[in-house]
Amino acid sequence: MPQTVPVPKQGQKSPTRTAAFARVIPHNTLNYRDPFHWMHLGVRDFIAAPMVSLFYGFCFTIASIAIWAAVFIHGTHLVILPALVVFMLIGPFLATGLYDVSWQLERGKKPNLFHSARAIRRNGVSEWGFAILLAVMMIFWMRVAAMIHALYPVNQNAHFEQFLPFLSLGTLFGMLFTVSVFAISAFSIPVMMERRVDIMTAISTSISAVYHNAGVMVVWALIISTCVVAGFATAGIGMLVIMPILGYATWHGYIRTIKTKRPRRFE
């Protein structure tokens, strides 16, 4: 069973790493206004570091354009759902550099691209392990999506009832994957980056925080979904601004939600 580790008292020294595994770091209780405040802080960070923000936004834009290109090449909209889930899987990991930008701004430093790009090295083993986990989930989802696609009627003019098995299973499994990915990734990477904990501690902490703030997390998930849909609706161009703001907002959400050990140097 995961164990909860109390936050060190003021003035009490705490080691950077501990031997405890799969523990749950305590978290705060949120209110429904918090996600909107996180977005406000995300906009503020974007304005404070426009060039670095646009670089990461450009990377997300390229990924979005690649998804649209896949739809065009395959000539079917059926690749959109798997592609969107893949985008959700890799998005939190790619945002690591954005979290670092917000962290630098909090410490009164001027963010730079080189420093943010090195963020993956701060807790490389756990963060790369998390990336592998996301990759495995991505592959598994693609296999499931392929099997569900087998239920799609051959006749494009089929009655709606013939589409029900495909739509029902696709929606069910899509929701299960979406909720699972959101729960494990909502705060995992910020936890690993700031506290240098193991992957299971980060995942357990993220799941616990999402579970105990379910209503607020639904609001946060809807904000993320709306922003991502808006970004794709502009053929990916909107991602140039949307994804950096979401990345910064996620960091501020982590700071508000998880009881962190701050301030601390991040070099």
pTM: 0.78
Beta bridge partners of 27: 258
The total domain count for the chain is: 1
Query: For 242-254, how does the pLDDT look when each residue is reduced to its tens digit (9 = 90+)?
Result: 999 999 999 999 9
Residue 264 counted as domain residue: no
Residue 4 counted as domain residue: no
**Does residue 183 surpass a pLDDT of 70?**
yes
Residue 2 counted as domain residue: no
Residue 263 counted as domain residue: no
φ, ψ for residue 2, nearest 5 deg: -60, 145
**Does residue 163 surpass a pLDDT of 70?**
no
Query: For 116-137, how does the pLDDT look when each residue is reduced to its tens digit (9 = 90+)?
Result: 888 777 787 887 788 788 778 8
Beta bridge partners of 258: 27
Q: Buried (b) or exposed (e) across 7-39, using 16+ Cβ within 10 A?
A: eeeeeeeeeeeeeeebbbbebeebeeebbeebb
DSSP E strands: which ranges in 54-134?
A: none
CA distance 82 to 33: 32
Q: Buried (b) or exposed (e) across 167-200, using 16+ Cβ within 10 A?
A: eeebeebbeebbeebbbbbbbbbbbbbbbbbbbe
**Does residue 55 surpass a pLDDT of 80?**
yes
Question: What pLDDT does 57 receive?
Answer: 92
Residue 86 counted as domain residue: yes
Residue 23 and residue 3 in contact, taking contact as beta carbons nearer than 8 Å: yes
Full residue range of the structural domain in which residue 96 is found: 34-153+160-257
Residue 22 counted as domain residue: no
Find which of 87-96, 108-117, 162-171, 194-203 is predicted with most confidence, using mean pLDDT. Answer: 194-203
Query: For 195-226, how does the pLDDT look when each residue is reduced to its tens digit (9 = 90+)?
Result: 888 999 999 999 999 999 999 999 999 999 89
CA distance 204 to 2: 7
Q: Angle, nearest 10°, between helix axes 214-233 and 34-48?
A: 40
Question: What pLDDT does 218 receive?
Answer: 95
Question: What pLDDT does 18 receive?
Answer: 42
Residue 224 and residue 246 in contact, taking contact as beta carbons nearer than 8 Å: yes
- CA–CA–CA angle 73, 92, 71 (5° rounding): 10
Residue bearing the bigger pLDDT, 126 or 91: 126
- Counting residues of the chain whose pLDDT is more than 70, the rounded percentage is 77
Question: What pLDDT does 154 receive?
Answer: 64
Question: What pLDDT does 5 receive?
Answer: 45
Query: For 3-48, how does the pLDDT look when each residue is reduced to its tens digit (9 = 90+)?
Result: 544 544 544 444 444 445 668 899 999 999 999 999 999 999 999 9
**Does residue 267 surpass a pLDDT of 60?**
no
Residue 129 counted as domain residue: yes
Question: What pLDDT does 160 receive?
Answer: 63
Task: Please name the helix (run of DSSP H) or strand (run of DSSP E) that holds residue 173, with its range, or none.
Answer: helix 160-185
Question: What pLDDT does 21 receive?
Answer: 65
Residue 126 counted as domain residue: yes
Residue 59 and residue 117 in contact, taking contact as beta carbons nearer than 8 Å: no
Question: What pLDDT does 67 receive?
Answer: 76
